[in-house]
Chains A and B, each alone.
Chain A
Amino acid sequence: MGSVRAFRNWRLWLVFYLINFVFAAILTIPIASLVSSDLSNRLVGQELLSGFCYRWYVEFAHGNAPFFSALLPQIVFLIVLYILVDVFLAGGFFTSFAASEKVKIGVFLSNGSTKFFDILLGTLIEVALLMGLYKLNSLFDLIGGTASNRIVATHGLWRVGFWRYAVLLVLFGVINILSDFSKAAMALDDDTFLSKLTRGVTFVIRHPLSTGGVYIGATILSTAVIAAAFLPARFVPSSGEAGILVEVAAGQIIVLLRIFSKLIFYAGEAVLYKENQIEVIKVKPEMLE
């Protein structure tokens, strides 16, 4: 159902791609202007046609270190702006995919704006939890000094690494699922922020298999797309004009597929949440005996 709605709302797909395209272009322009002279006029450009020149790369990076230092804040600013735009779009995506009919662009934008702050707050909570997870990872390092060393000596390192990362991965997934369905609640319910947050969490607890299924399915899909991204790099010789064209086209197809897998995820969450929505019955005075 979700993937059907993701296909049906292809314009949203296009909007998402165009926004990604414009932001990436803005980020690329300064670097493109910087490298164009070396790559077009110097012999190293010909070397880079058929491979990579490490010597050039390190000298270029060193020689232009001030440029990259100055560029970094701009890159960070643009990425933060892009995340905010994504947060804005998320409200529109959830409501559009939850609706059985096509949503007009005006409604899409309206939903995006009205749900923006709630979803942003949900996003910040997710970021805080993920940072906590990162700290937990550091804690593993800290306590690893003695305790895990004994385990290493007796059981072999891979077991320690396996369990450590298995725990971290599960926690990461749990945070993700709880956050995502809370965001769905932010977009699809009308209530206070805390109520919606609680409802999203409750929803996941009540439907662990279906929410986990959507999450795992979407993860498998996006992982498959990411794996596919290696294919053109491995098999397409991109030294000639045709090869470069194929590589560029393949790159954009991969981006489109990644966007599509993300929208399917949104759609899956939206449909699942909508169809199993926890009904909130507001108690009115006349209902009281």
Chain B
Amino acid sequence: MNSPSGGKRGSNYGVASLLVLASLLVFSNPKAVSADELRSGVANYSIAVRLDPEMHTLDAHEVLSWHNLSGEGTSELYFHLYPNAFKSGSTTFMTETGRNIPSSAYGWMDVTSFVDLRTGENLTAQIRYSSPDDGNTHDSTVIVVKLSRPVAPGDSIAVSIDFNEQLPQAIFRGGYVPGRNFYMISQWFPKIGVYHDGVWNCHQYHAFTQFFSDFGEYNVKITVPAGYVVGATGEEVDRKSDADGMTTYRWVAADVRDFAWTASPDFIRVRRVFKGTGLPETKVVLLLRPEHRAEAGRYFSAVDTAMNYFGSWYGSYPYSVLTVVDPPPESGLGNMELPAIFTARRSDKCREFDFSLEARITREIGHQYWYCIVGSDGFEEAWLDQGLTSYSAGEVMEKSDGGQVPAYSFGGDYTLNLLPVVSVDGIPAAAIIGKTRIHEPFNSIPLYLKYATADAISDYAYRARNRGAYEAIASDKADLVLHTLEGVVGRSAMLEIMRNYFEEYRFGHPTAADFRTVAERIAGRDLGWFFNSFISGTGTVDFAVSSIEYYRETDLAIGTTTYVTSVTVKRNGEVKMPVDLRLSLEDGTSVDTLWDGQARWHTVVLRTNSLPKYAVLDPEGKIPLDIDYANNSLLVRPSYLPVIKWVARVFNYFQHVLLVMGLLA
């Protein structure tokens, strides 16, 4: 299944038919939002929802107006029913995560009525579950509804859906948190799939992939107990107190591909207007937990920084309101991106000198750009969101905070997980390591190395070996690939590529081919080899200097001395690509040359007037995908000082470890 490529979607479809439907709606269901409030889009939703905080349930009515943009007609409609991912331990999501949650934490959705508003026909009996990805009969996250009257190409349909929902405990992406009066309601309504070229793209709910949906306009009435503070996608336009002690909010959003909301009586709401240089104003609404009251400035500062960079680099943020939610720590909702709203949890281990909160916020704003505005397919080409976000958010962090990362995540899966222990015991080496800044994109290297050849970036993300492989490939490898692309085309061209890609595909559904088209147009050359190697392929890059030798030539007649240096370079990895070779000389100068990297090995002979000092491949670090940085260089004369320094440190480290262990005696 391919998602549609191309630019912006049109914005005036089927308005007339909606007006007809409006009268039907008003009289058919008392909960309905009047349809004249609906605006245009591809998939326009009008939803009225009521939260029962005692039972943690939702009772809702939805009117969907959908426009068939495909060149093919359809007699079926596919919908996501994502709350059913939490229905039992046998769903595809639960199976993939391997999680075993108590049945009290389960959640599910029931569609109780489905009416084709064109005909007034009740199609509830026509609903059947479908598992297009894995055939899992226990998974009910996708439904298909058979229509008696097809939707012709270019035509529209409106349907009325009643549904109720038991919210799951918020173990992942949404739900409620017991004892906290906190609700994050995402992926919560019957959401239509994307229909393109006569094929439905409507995947099941998977453990680690994101989502895919059409852009549209939302008009949502949210009824919650009085005193609850509500935040949602879009803008609050109305608020009414009901006689039964409830309050109904109305939110509208345009050109968004999803709608999420949150509610809690404990939220502290703080507002601020973001005013970037040359950028449109955006109202930033911060919903904070009470214990983080003092952190508002830090949140706003991080949002400002990220919005400024993203806005000036790629294009302005199109939505008028951005809501940032601080979820409870036990919710499993640390970072979650949805259109115009995201969660960014301030870790309770978060310290003043680490940048984990800033990194989270920056990353979530990255997702606003590459998932929420540029409507990439989170199932089939997750890297277009995750990778571009890693790349751009990393660049922002590098510019704003100098590439610092939180100390406790330093070293990823590797032995420096011991770092906290080490620093507690005051090992000098740890103190020095702790000060080290990790520059972009090297924090992506550990996970990439672990899964370097596991999957190709172009593989469907939900088919990844496991969550680690998914993150490694869709996010970390893609980050390194984009930095390598920057090395190939140059920094300014890369910025142009990203900016053009954003501008051309905002509110559209681009594919990797579209990104390549933009890259080739800006770079002015064929980049097929690059995309074939790194997006479609699983090969690795490893260039090495294997030997360096020289001899002296003296011309007695004119009294000059020339040094003839032979540098043999090797390509250990599968990927063939050009790489710079630099011969550095004792007098401080250097000689640069380019190796095409096609052969397995190559010897370069260089004549210089000064003694050679060392040879280095990729001296500017343009290829961060190279899996062995150390072998990129070779000294003419070995130096043992670093060995002494670091062996002494390791020795001292072990002395301290032994002393600590000896405390038991």
Query: Which residues of A line the B interface, CB within 8 A?
Result: 20-21, 23-25, 27-28, 31-32, 35-36, 38-46, 48-49, 51-63, 68, 79, 82-83, 86-87, 89-90, 119, 123, 126-127, 145-146, 149-150, 152-153, 156-157, 161, 226-230, 232-234, 238, 241, 244, 247-248, 250-252, 254-255, 258-259, 262
Residues from chain A with a CB closer than 8 A to the CB of B432 are 51-52, 233
The residue that B641 contacts in the complex, of A90, A157, A241, A254, with Cβ under 8 A, is A241
Complex Cα–Cα for A179 and B421 (A): 23
Query: Which residues of B line the A interface, CB within 8 A?
Result: 178-180, 266, 289-291, 328, 330, 348, 411-412, 414-416, 425-429, 431-433, 436, 438-439, 442-443, 445-446, 449-450, 614, 616, 624, 627-635, 638-652, 654-659, 661-665
Report whether B630 and A126 are in contact in the complex, using a CB–CB cutoff of 8 Å. Answer: no
Residues from chain B with a CB closer than 8 A to the CB of A250 are 428
Complex Cα–Cα for A273 and B412 (A): 47
Residues from chain B with a CB closer than 8 A to the CB of A21 are 655
Nearest CB on B from A195, distance (A): 22
Report whether A44 and B450 are in contact in the complex, using a CB–CB cutoff of 8 Å. Answer: no
Report whether B446 and A126 are in contact in the complex, using a CB–CB cutoff of 8 Å. Answer: no
Report whether A55 and B291 are in contact in the complex, using a CB–CB cutoff of 8 Å. Answer: no
CB-defined A-B contacts under 8 Å, sample of 6: A21-B655, A40-B638, A51-B436, A83-B664, A83-B665, A251-B652
Residues from chain A with a CB closer than 8 A to the CB of B642 are 39-40, 45-46, 48-49
Residues from chain A with a CB closer than 8 A to the CB of B661 are 79, 82-83
Report whether A36 and B643 are in contact in the complex, using a CB–CB cutoff of 8 Å. Answer: yes
Q: Which residue of B lies closest to A61 (CB)?
A: B414
Report whether A157 and B630 are in contact in the complex, using a CB–CB cutoff of 8 Å. Answer: no
Nearest CB on B from A231, distance (A): 9
Besides the contacts A42-B631, A42-B635, A238-B645, what 10 more A-B pairs have beta carbons closer than 8 Å?
A62-B450, A83-B661, A83-B664, A119-B665, A127-B664, A145-B178, A226-B425, A234-B431, A241-B641, A254-B426
Q: Which residue of B lies closest to A179 (CB)?
A: B664
Residues from chain A with a CB closer than 8 A to the CB of B635 are 40-43, 45
Report whether A49 and B645 are in contact in the complex, using a CB–CB cutoff of 8 Å. Answer: yes
Nearest CB on A from B512, distance (A): 27
Given contacts A45-B639, A61-B415, A149-B328, contact A54 B436 (CB under 8 A): yes
Report whether A58 and B658 are in contact in the complex, using a CB–CB cutoff of 8 Å. Answer: no
Residues from chain B with a CB closer than 8 A to the CB of A119 are 665
Report whether A79 and B657 are in contact in the complex, using a CB–CB cutoff of 8 Å. Answer: yes
Nearest CB on B from A83, distance (A): 6
Complex Cα–Cα for A45 and B427 (A): 21
Report whether B647 and A28 are in contact in the complex, using a CB–CB cutoff of 8 Å. Answer: yes
Complex Cα–Cα for A116 and B353 (A): 47
The residue that A89 contacts in the complex, of B439, B445, B665, with Cβ under 8 A, is B665
Q: Which residue of A lies closest to B180 (CB)?
A: A149
Complex Cα–Cα for A230 and B423 (A): 9
Complex Cα–Cα for A240 and B635 (A): 18
The residue that B655 contacts in the complex, of A52, A58, A255, with Cβ under 8 A, is A255
Complex Cα–Cα for A89 and B658 (A): 14
Report whether B648 and A229 are in contact in the complex, using a CB–CB cutoff of 8 Å. Answer: no
Report whether B630 and A38 are in contact in the complex, using a CB–CB cutoff of 8 Å. Answer: yes
Complex Cα–Cα for A238 and B632 (A): 25
3 nearest A-B residue pairs (beta carbon) = A86-B665, A43-B633, A45-B642
Q: Which residue of B lies closest to A261 (CB)?
A: B659
Report whether B414 and A83 are in contact in the complex, using a CB–CB cutoff of 8 Å. Answer: no
Report whether B665 and A244 are in contact in the complex, using a CB–CB cutoff of 8 Å. Answer: no
Residues from chain B with a CB closer than 8 A to the CB of A161 are 348
Report whether A35 and B665 are in contact in the complex, using a CB–CB cutoff of 8 Å. Answer: no
Residues from chain B with a CB closer than 8 A to the CB of A87 are 665
Report whether B179 and A55 are in contact in the complex, using a CB–CB cutoff of 8 Å. Answer: no
Report whether A40 and B639 are in contact in the complex, using a CB–CB cutoff of 8 Å. Answer: yes
Complex Cα–Cα for A101 and B650 (A): 39
Residues from chain B with a CB closer than 8 A to the CB of A49 are 641-642, 645
Report whether B266 and A153 are in contact in the complex, using a CB–CB cutoff of 8 Å. Answer: yes
Nearest CB on A from B541, distance (A): 12
